[in-house]
Structure 1
Amino acid sequence: MYQLLIVDDEETVVDGLADTVPWETIGIETVHRAYSGHQALELVDAYAIDIVITDIRMPGISGVELIGRIRERSPRTKTILLSGHSEFEYAQEGLRQHASDYLLKPIRFDDLLASVARAIDRIREEWEDVVSHRRALDALRQHLPLLRADLLNELLQGRRFAAESLTEKLRMLEVELAAGDAVSLLLVRLEEPFAGSDPGSLSLFQYAIVNMAEEIFAGEFMLWAAKERHDYLVFLAKGVAPCGQPGESLRERERLENLAAQLQKSVNSYLKGTISIVASPWGAFPDDVATLYESSVAALRRRLGAESELFATWKEQHGADEGVHSLRLLYEPPLLQHLLEAGRWSTAEEKLEAIFEELEARFSDSLEHLLEAYYSIASVLSYIAHKNGRRLETVIAREFDLFAESGGLRSIGRLREWTRTSIERIRADMEHEVKETRTSVVQQVHEYIERHLTGDVSLQAIAGHVHLHPVYLSRVYKLETGESLSDYLYRFRMNTAAHLLKGTDDKIYEIAERLGYAHPPYFIKVFKKEFGMTPQEYRDGK
């Protein structure tokens, strides 16, 4: 699905096109509105805008100047100019600035939809070239990306290199990083349908996503990519322009997150799958790399849970993983601890079943091996509960009595059942925590809208109030409520309007202002579309 931005200094033109054209019929998911060139540029910086429709003549930044600036910021964004017959020279200049199309006023909706549909086709063709099967295979055959990924994985696991040795490795692998560089880590979890793919297909998808990321971030960030131990993709990002010490450049931080959100959307549009992304704060290379990685894995589990296609950032530091020691499958990667930390519940269940099968096949008469498995599993469950700020006794309830008295688990069948029940309760507890957090976010959103209805209730303003990225907030809100935030805002305004019309003597223009409508005629038009009558007719009971 695609995002559209409509720009005009006349609010009624913008609102009319946004609300009356059936954009969803051609695949437009979100329609953004801007009433000046400056506001349009802010939205282009904040969101992954695919197509911009702009008037040519506007005060301040003209439409022609606007598309030139958009091309500098977002070269893949398509632009469509709206012009009058007398502005044909401006339109020619716009086309020289690589505008995709121009339309003459007055505009027919069919012509506008057709123009946007053509722009969507061009976007799709460009991305199909980027993620083509041949390009993915060619990248897979190259040895250099594999060697780079191996080195990055070593750094993620905390391996230390002598300064001269690391510098030489980076030079040989053509990785443009040096000690002390500010870096951020993006952790990408592949979801449906990628997760169920065979290993060969999964590798092609991973290479395609890496190619897409390099295209999206090109010119702004250097990316170093690898697949890590949980089968997640990791991107270590460094800004192309110097930003001083880690965390100093707020704009660079925001741009990194916006490009990451664009990668997420592009994977959905062109690979027909979903990914979730966690973006870390800035850290210093190479000293902070392992900490950024481990904390990002923990943030993915705690902030995103088992839901798909989400985006999150984190600021807090999480403790480092604790290892476990000695049964072959019990300690063979991926470790049970790592699987539970990453929220990979199904894989954890498969791992445990394999451990129990090994116990039955090789050590069915060995109490010592049974206790080895028991103590290892029990310690992992305690660790997971404690890391989430919970006591295991509270989470697993009466199962804790058997935990405290290991003699009650002296059979493989009893241990298998105890482990299954305990993990189910830990998972339910963690998912309940995620649910409570999202419920709290929705409540904060509703309270903000009620208090600021006459002011700025844009997605960006609301996201700033609840301290979440706008894309992440949109996903969480829809997951929790089943409707988009814009749909709720529209419904809330209409219901409030109906209440005020029946319950107060306020004039219609006063009600329109209270609901955030700058132009009463537009409020009347929207109200009539919703209720089938004008506000006055509704008040009169007609």
Structure 2
Amino acid sequence: MTQLLIVDDEIHVVERLATLVPWEQAGITCVHKAISAEEAIEKMHESPIHIVITDIRMPGMTGLELSALIAKQWKKTKCIILSGHADFQYAKEAFLNGAVGYLLKPVTDEELLSTVSEAVSTLNTEWEQVISQERIERTLRENSLQLRANLLSELIQGRRYSRSELQDKMTMMQVPDFYDKPFWSMLVRLEEPFYTYNPHNLALIEYAIGNMAEELFAPHFELWHSKDTYDYLVFLVKPKEASLSSPIIEEEILHTLERSASLLQTAIHTYLKGFATILVSQKGLFPADLSTLYYYTLSTLRKNVGAEQDLILTYAGESLENKAIRSIPALYELPTLAQFLEAGQWDSAQQRLERIASELKEKRDELQEQLLEVFLSIASAFTYFAHKNGRLLAELIGPNYDKLIEGTPHRSIQQLTDWSLEVLNHLRMDNEDAVKDSRTKLIAEVQQFVERELSNDVSLLAIAVHVFMHPVYISKIYKLETGENLSDYVHRVRMEKAARLLLNSQVKIYEIAAQIGYQRAHSFINVFKKHTGATPQEYRDKFGTS
């Protein structure tokens, strides 16, 4: 959808070009109009303008100044200069500012359509280059290492994806095929002197270790590595052999893995002049066992290694199949309940609470302990949200706060579920009321500013500076709440004030123009006539009191 903006201080020129030229032949789907550079800038903030046709000589900011500003702030927008002056200096400056065309008045429809068609073609070519498959693939290749690390970090922390979504991501990032395959994890804790390094130098060390591991494990294994929240390096290791059905083969693989880990530790000593503890986990199945295996390995590192340095340890605990998993996965899965609340994703928060309740029902052998864990975690998320928004939880949830203090919700799954969903609904309604109240105050503040500063700068940018918000946000919220474009509101206020002054005072027309923000009486007269069907003097003569 290609949008065009026509800018000229002569209203009849703007109207003729906007209504009589068959722009659809050049691929234009929407035409906007402005009678000054200032109004044009407001239109640029309000709508995604792709092409601007502007006159040069206008009161205030000239068309050349406007095109220079557009080239700086809206780099993809194309400007075409429409001028009544065959001045080489004007044309030179226009093209230096990035204009794609310079047309002389009077201009034919054919000339306009031809120039605009070329601009549309240029835009299409530029966007095709931006979204081209080759460019995307090149960008992915250049950033694939970080993207792969980020994905693994998310999965370790419990982020869930559907099978097809995860496989698509892994394929796109050129991750080895781990899906439904057995794997081991390897935790590398960097020690002296690495923890004294600054972030830049430490990142170089981590990158070097990743490269060394790829080299040392390559003959027998495929790797995928990342960094966890504790600054440990985490490697997933998958044997290249297709089958692990034989216990003998599995034992050989584990020995090879341990030898490779020992070589990595030696390489860190020799080439990076530092120490590292490495812990190799037991076998798991990707992705089902990933998060659980990681946390068991982390726990083993904490319990069996502690502060000792430069060790290698293989975790030989009981099988994951024989270990009762006591935690509630949905309680800690990313994004967490607290993150959903903070982002205002209320439906997702409700779905998470319902999943937590569902998983609780599968833990009946340890129900009381599970209920307490879930209750404390959910209460913590609710309290965090309230405090982050400058409120007390007791104020937001009323009687439900007494239940929290008494511990009533964690007496049964149903009580906990009912309480959680009811509190969530309270938080949601309070947030919606706060948003509505905030928008009402914003609209009032905008309108007060416009009415107070009408003789000065009431552009969208000036309003944005006054209320400390982004102009695009203000424009959209104003239209959403009032049903009227902000620029239309400003225009209406100006015309209404002009009409009152014309009818109820003897103020001269040029003075009225100045009071409502027009630097030139001529521009005011043209705009007023378009709005009312009469010039200011005609309006005064017809409706004014003698």
Distance 2:476 2:444 in 1: 15
Q: How does 1:128-527 map to 2 (within 5 A)?
A: 128-140=128-140, 142=141, 144-147=143-146, 150=149, 162-163=196-197, 166-167=200-201, 169=203, 327-363=328-364, 366-407=367-408, 410-527=411-528
**Corresponding residue to 2:18 among 22, 32, 36:** 22
Structure 1: which 5+ residue stretches go unaligned?
175-225, 230-324
1:125 corresponds in structure 2 to 125
Deviations 1:256-306 (A, max 9, x none): xxxxxxxxxxxxxxxxxxxxxxxxxxxxxxxxxxxxxxxxxxxxxxxxxxx
Tell me if structure 1 keeps the 8 A contact 2:37–2:62.
no
Which segment is superposed worse, 89-98 or 340-349?
Answer: 89-98
Name the structure 2 match of 1:79: 79
Contact 1:5 1:32 in 2 (8 A): no
Shift of 1:43: 11
Q: Per chain length, whose mean CA-contact separation is higher, i.e. which structure has more relative contact order (CA < 8 Å, sep 6+)?
A: 2
| Contact map agreement 2:360 2:413 (CA 8 A) in 1 | yes
Tell whether the 8 Å contact from 1:528 to 1:534 is kept in structure 2 after alignment: yes
Partner of residue 9, structure 2: 12
Cα offset, 1:150, TM superposition: 3.6
Partner of 1:292: none
Deviates more, 1:519-528 or 1:457-466: 519-528
**Alpha carbons of 1:371 and 1:63: their partners in 2 closer, same or farther (altered >3 Å)?**
closer
What is the rounded CA distance, in whole Å, between the counterparts of 1:89 and 1:378 in structure 2?
A: 70
Bigger Rg over Cα: 2
Identity of aligned residues (%): 42
Q: Amino acid of the residue matched to residue 384 of structure 1? A: F
> Retained in 2: the 8 A contact 1:6–1:34?
no
The one-letter code sitting in structure 2 at the alignment partner of 1:478 is K
Unaligned runs of 5+ in 2: 158-189, 209-225, 230-325
Q: What is aligned with 2:37?
A: 34
Equivalent residue letter for 1:147: Q
Q: For 2:144, give the aligned amino acid.
A: P
Please list the CA deviations of residues 483-529 of structure 1 after superposition, one character each: whole Å capped at 9, or x if unmatched.
22111101111222233333334343333222222333332332232
On the 8 A contact 1:147/1:173 being kept in 2, the answer is no
Q: Work out whether residues 56 and 64 of structure 1, in 8 Å CA contact, stay in contact via their aligned partners in 2.
A: yes
TM-superposed deviation, 1:420: 1.3
Aligned counterpart, 1:177 = none
Q: Distance in 2 between matches of 1:495 and 1:40?
A: 22
The DSSP-based 3-state class of the residue aligned with 1:81 is strand
Deviations 1:68-105 (A, max 9, x none): 89768876442323345744686488668864222221
Number of residue pairs matched by the alignment = 385
CA 487–97 in structure 1, closer or farther in 2 if over 3 Å, else same: closer
Whole-angstrom distance in 2 between the partners of 1:346 and 1:32: 45
Please give the alpha-carbon distance, in whole angstroms, between the structure 1 residues aligned to 2:393 and 2:365: 28
TM-score normalised according to structure 2 size: 0.57
Structure 1 residues 385 and 110: CA distance shift in structure 2, 3 A: farther
Cα distance, 1:146 vs structure 2: 3.6
Distance in 1 between residues matched to 2:58 and 2:531, nearest whole Å? 31
TM superposition score normalised by structure 1: 0.58
Q: Deviations over 1:180-229 (max 9, x none)?
A: xxxxxxxxxxxxxxxxxxxxxxxxxxxxxxxxxxxxxxxxxxxxxx9x99
Distance 1:352 1:67, change over 3 A: closer
CA distance in 2, matches of 1:511, 1:41: 24
Question: Matched residues in 2 for 1:64 and 1:503: separation?
Answer: 40
- Are residues 499 and 118 of structure 1, via their aligned partners in 2, closer, same or farther at CA, if it must alter by over 3 Å? farther
**Could you tell me how far 1:387 is from its partner in structure 2?**
1.6
After superposing the two structures, state which structure 1 stretch, 350-359 or 429-438, moved more. Answer: 429-438
